[in-house]
Amino acid sequence: MSTARERILEATAELLATKDALAISTRVICERAKVGMPEIYRQFGDKEGLLTAVADLGFERFLANKRRNPLTEDPVADLRTAWDSHVAFALRNPHLYRLMFTPTGEVKPQGIKEAQALLLSAVERCRDAGRLRTTPELAGQSILSANVGVCVMALSFPDPFGSLDISQSVRDAVIGKATGDEHEDSRITTATVLAQALVGTLTGTAPADADAVDELARALRPKTP
């Protein structure tokens, strides 16, 4: 038989499938969990504590999914697979993902530390194979920052940032910069310029050239009727 705590967590997670955390009231959570209002405060302190606990449960699901990614003999290809599975999780669970990666309270989900550790292990495989240009720590931080940034933009502004082409472009730019697996591409698109700008910001290298920045500005400028 489930405990009151388990029912509250389950009810909140179910509600997050269709609503943003800020739109879910504690009254609705309690009704769904079949508990009295004081039970949330006994178990979690307040709503913020409850949402942090739910975010950590989300990280458990997220990390379990990550561990199912197959490992191959190519650690750089495995990094790209990990990126894509991260994006897929975000698109399947938009409200839970925002709760996990854009927390608003003072207490942050602890699952982010394990997510960082898992990515660091993947990056260290690249280093051990002689395919890393920077430190594993910086590479891991850069990749995770860019991965989350792409997901948040896709969820918040699906038009024009929801295209998987943008995700793949940023993925290849950031991972390619860290590992040396960059690919020459003379085409300049909104996605590639966004990728160049992100790489420059995350790695501290020179920003995109002026022409590329102008191209991005023109691409994103609202069209006049």
- pTM, full prediction: 0.79
Question: What would the pLDDT profile of 154-205 be if each residue is shown by its tens digit?
Answer: 999 998 899 999 999 999 999 999 999 876 444 445 555 555 555 555 544 4
pLDDT exceeds cutoff 70 at 41: yes
Specify the pLDDT at position 213.
Answer: 46
Question: What would the pLDDT profile of 209-222 be if each residue is shown by its tens digit?
Answer: 445 445 544 544 44
Question: Shortest CA distance to 191 belongs to which of 222, 160, 221, 214?
Answer: 160
pLDDT exceeds cutoff 90 at 81: yes
Specify the pLDDT at position 106.
Answer: 85
Residues 56 and 52: their CA atoms lie apart, in Å, by: 6
Label residue 84 exposed, middle or buried (CB < 10 Å: 0-12, 13-18, 19+): middle
As a whole number, mean pLDDT of residues 107-118 equals: 94
